[in-house]
Structure formats: structure tokens, C-alpha cells
Amino acid sequence: MSRLAIIGGDAAGMSAASQALRRDPDLDVVAFERTPYTSYSACGIPYWIGKDLSHERGSAPLIVRSPEKHRERGIDVRTRTEVIGIDLDSRRLTVKDLETQTESEEGFDELVIATGAVAKAPPVPGADTVEPSRTVDAAERFHAALERGGDSAVVIGAGYIGLEMAEALVKRGLTVSMLDIADQVMNVALDKDMAEHVLRGARDEGIHVHLSTPLESIEPGVVHAGGRAFPADHVVVATGVRPAVAIAIDAGLEVGELGGLLVDDHQRCRGADGVYAAGDCVESWHRLLERPINVQLGTHANKQGRIAGVNATGGDASFPGVIGTAVSRICSVEIARTGLTEKEVAELTDFDVVAVTAQSTTRAGYFPGTGPIWVKLVAERGTGRLLGGQIVGVEGAAKRADVLAVAIWTGMTVHELEMMDLGYAPPVSPVYDPLLVAASAAVRALDS
């Protein structure tokens, strides 16, 4: 009987495991996971910390499928077990039981590496004292620390996770300072003009946002940054992550410029037969940049894991790449982006573009619950091809980016988008949907 080993029991790994077993019920599938949990929603952690999610059953809402459930389906899940070495020639893994600290060896025929990502600690004194809440057990420890008391928190990094965690801590009644070295929030995700709307929302919610404020040191009870001291009974570091690829590199697997494992469109690791990788630890093909990027999102991890599971069992599935779609909701502000921002176009491409922003409303102007929405579009001069979209607004704003995602994916022009047959009804849209309003503005800008 053939044996498929999975390193990492979250979205990518367990998607691969499940898919493989579905296709080949006789397959021997073993999955190794460092934490006590499998298939958890890391994206849900800030909402659990903020108690949007009930704590009645502890961290249960974050667990999509427990190790027990996976075992019932026939997957041999080993939790609290870390893979510390991969030998591709002998097809063996060295694994360490984190409870007993004993090491042993496990064979495999096919391998899926789904080791995820680890937080990047900022290069300042004390940064290594802060545990990032990237896993459910880490989130449980942070929650326990919050329960023990403290009035103040400092969140370092004003990206998606930083903002989500800052909101969670405000909801728990803490005084929250948020620091970022950049002169805008969401420096990686959004153009500065669009980020202003998010900044306003964060400040309205009571987050004390300090931009252009470089971190200096983290000490017990205090964070020094930009020449000031910020009281910090609790500290959250959310300054990005990097692929967790140490054992893969040791095994001789190739990583790309951005530090992720290099895979082809079948999630096959370059130059290693029968070895697949998926999720946060890989680089994914960006269809507009036409090169691999490193992006950490559960949606890609799930899809790539599934594809690895298909191909590891003799199937033929491929991942068509990404276009940079991401959404979030922070402090009653919905945020979305897809394709390229104006900044990314300038820094990473030779595209000649126009960018326009149109303000509109999410519902008919007269309808209860209507509110502002800003849509920024980036379109190529000459062709009019849509290359990027950013959306900030009230409820109902963010998922409109999916419409732009399909338009970008298929190479639609803003001229075509302007006349698209989108749905209209007063409770869900103005007669000209905000996307059409923005497309019209882009057409005028291109034609002028």
C-alpha cells in the first residue's frame, strides 16, 4: 500500500489529505501537525480574541475539523508532532513527538509539504519575547494573558492582521496604540488614498494609530517607538510572515526570490518527484505580474492543497494562479483589493495606467442602511484593460471586488465593465452600481 505523508495539518495539508483519501480510499495517509489542532481558521483568531465568536466552548468555533474527525475518516493524524527532517532519497521523515521529545522515522511514497508561514519578528530588542497568535494554541495563551488583566495594548504593524487584532482588543476594553513605520495603514495592500478611509474608520473605533513611527524596542509593560514610550500591558506583533521552509531547504528543495517553495502549476516541488507543496509555504503564480509571489490566504491554501491531493494520487489538476484578491472587515469598514494597486504598478511593472476613484453608495441613496463606498480602479492606457481594483466602504462593499476579480482575470476593459449587466434593486445597489460609476470615471480619464 502506498503511503502519503503530509507535513502540516491546517488548511493546505488537510485539504490534500482529504482529497487524496477521497480519490483513493485504500491509501495510507499520515499527517503531522505541531499543534494540538487541525484544520483551524487562523483568519478567525482576531474575531475570537475580540469575542465576536463565542467562548462558550473555548476555541471550538475556530476548529473546522478536529483531529478526531479526520481520524474517523481514515487519516492518521499525529498532533503535537513536528517533522524536523526530510530525506528525499530514502523517502523518510524524521519526526519529533513534542510531548515526549522523542524522535523517530517515518517512511513515505508521496509527500505534501504544507508547513505554512511563521511571523517575521521585527529586528529590535525584545521582539522575540512576543509570541504571535498565528495558531489556535497561541491564541488561547494570548486570550488567557488578556484574562489575567491589563489595560493597555500596543499593536505593531497596521496591516490586515494588526488592524483586526487592534479592533479585537478595543472591543475587550483595552486602550490600544497601533504603530507602523509606514505613513499609511495597510501599506502593502492599499494605495494611500484608499487607506485614508480605513485609517478614519480605525480612529473612529478608538484605535490610537501612530504612523511613521519606527519601532525601537519592546520591554515589559512598555513599547518604545518614534522616540515615545507606549504603555503596553500586552503586545501584538503583526509585521508580516515568511514561509516556513527550513526543513524543505535542508532537504534540498528550491525556494524562490520571495522565500517560498517553488512549485509548478500542479503544486509539484521543482526537481523532486512525488513531492508537493501547498499553502503559505509556497510561491504562487501571479497572473498579472507573470511571476511567482508569496501570499498567505486560506482560500489559496485550500485550493492548492486539494490540487496537491489530486496530483499525488495520479490525477491531473492545476492551479491557475492568483491575482491578489483580498478582503477584510475592520471596525465596520469593509476593505477589498484585487489585481494591482497603483503603487504596485509603479514599483513592479511597466504598465502605463490611469487610476481613478469614485465615491458612491452601497444601496440606493434613499434606502435605509445605505452608506459610502469608494472604488478605485487602475486601467491600462490605450487598451483600457482593467488591472486593479480597491474598495473601501460600509457593509456590502467588500465582496463587490469579486466582480472586479473576474473582470481582471478575463482581461475585461473598463469600457466593457461600464456597460455590464449588474444587478440593481434599491436594498442592495444604486441604479448605477458603484463599480459602474467607477468604470465610467475610468473611461472618462482614459479618453481625456
CA distance 217 to 232: 12
Handedness of CA 372, 373, 376, 377 (dihedral sign): negative
User: Residue 192: is it exposed, middle or buried by C-beta count within 10 angstroms (0-12/13-18/19+)?
Assistant: middle
Is residue 111 part of the contact set for its own copies (CB under 8 A)?
no
List phi, psi (to 5°) of 16: -60, -45
The nearer residue to its own copies, 234 or 303, going by C-beta atoms, is 303
Task: Report the nearest approach of its own copies to the CB of residue 121 (Å).
Answer: 25
Residue of the chain from 103, 264, 427, 444 that contacts its own copies (CB under 8 A): 427
CB of 71 or CB of 399, closer to its own copies: 399
Concatenating the DSSP letter of every residue in 278-307 gives: -STTB-EEETTTTEEE----HHHHHHHHHH
The smaller minimum CB distance to its own copies, of residues 230 and 409, is found at 409
**Under rule CB under 8 A, residue 416 binds its own copies:** yes
Give the span between the Cα atoms of 439 and 357, in whole angstroms: 9
Minimal distance, residue 16 CB to its own copies, in Å: 15
Under the binding rule (CB under 8 A), the answer on residue 197 touching its own copies is: no
Hey, how many other C-beta atoms are within 10 angstroms of the C-beta on 271?
A: 11
Compute the half-sphere exposure of residue 30: CA atoms within 13 Å on the CB side of its CA. 19
What is the footprint of its own copies within residues 385-404 (CB under 8 A)?
396, 398-403
d(CA 218, CA 35): 27
Residue of the chain from 47, 230, 276, 351 that contacts its own copies (CB under 8 A): 47
The separation between CA 377 and the C-alpha centre of its own chain, rounded to angstroms, equals 22
- Nearest by Cα to 201 from 180, 182, 185, 225: 185
Work out how close the CB of 82 gets to its own copies at its nearest, in angstroms, rounded to a whole number. 25
For its own copies, the binding residue among 88, 166, 333, 407 (CB under 8 A) is: 407
DSSP structure class, residue 35: S
Burial group, residue 244, by CB count within 10 angstroms (0-12, 13-18, 19+): buried
For 229, phi then psi, to 5°, come to -110, 130
**43 has catalytic annotation:** yes
Does position 142 interact with its own copies (CB under 8 A)? The reply is no
User: Closest CB to its own copies among 271 and 427?
Assistant: 427
Residue 395: Cβ-neighbour burial (10 angstroms; 0-12, 13-18, 19+):
middle
From 89-97, 175-183, 223-231, 295-303, give the range in contact with its own copies by CB under 8 A. 295-303
Q: Which residues contact residue 144 at a Cβ distance below 8 angstroms, ignoring those fewer than 6 apart?
A: none
Q: Which residue, 224 or 286, has its beta carbon nearer to its own copies?
A: 286
297 scored as a contact of its own copies (CB under 8 A): yes
Q: Is 420 in the site for its own copies (CB under 8 A)?
A: yes
As to burial, measured by CB atoms within 10 angstroms (0-12 exposed, 13-18 middle, 19+ buried), residue 398 is buried
CB 429 to its own copies: min, Å: 7
In DSSP terms, 23 is beta-bridged to none
Number of residues that bind its own copies (CB under 8 A): 64
Q: Is residue 230 involved in binding its own copies (CB under 8 A)? A: no
Q: Which is nearer to its own copies, 213 or 338 (CB)?
A: 338
Q: Output the smallest distance, CB 303 to its own copies, in A.
A: 6
Residue 1 CB burial class (10 angstroms; 0-12, 13-18, ≥19): exposed
Least separation in angstroms between residue 403's CB and its own copies is: 5
188 in contact with its own copies (CB under 8 A): no
Output the CA–CA distances (angstroms, integers) from residue 416 to 65, 299, 404, 406, in the order listed: 43, 28, 12, 13
From 43, 269, 281, 331, the catalytic residue: 43
Site for its own copies in 305-344 (CB under 8 A): 319-329, 334, 336, 338
Q: For residue 68, what are the contacts with CB-CB under 8 A and spacing of at least 6?
A: none
Among 303, 343, 376, 385, binds its own copies (CB under 8 A): 303
Q: Binding of its own copies at residue 426 (CB under 8 A)? A: yes
Residue 167 or 233 with smaller CB distance to its own copies: 167
Give the one residue of 299, 349, 359, 383 binding its own copies; rule: CB under 8 A: 299
Task: Give 30 or 387: the residue with its C-beta nearer to its own copies.
Answer: 387
66 binds its own copies (CB under 8 A): no
- Please report whether residue 351 would count as binding its own copies according to CB under 8 A: no
Q: Reading across the β-sheet that carries 76-78, which strands appear in turn?
A: 76-78, 28-32, 3-7, 110-113, 275-277
Q: Site residues for its own copies, window 360-379 (CB under 8 A)? A: 364-368
> Least separation, in Å, of the C-beta of 336 and its own copies?
6
- Residues 295 and 285: beta-carbon distance below 8 Å: no
Which residues are catalytically annotated? 43
Positions in the binding site for its own copies (CB under 8 A): 11, 41, 43-44, 47, 52-53, 61-62, 64, 297-300, 302-303, 319-329, 334, 336, 338, 364-368, 396, 398-403, 405-407, 409-410, 412, 416, 419-429, 431-433, 435
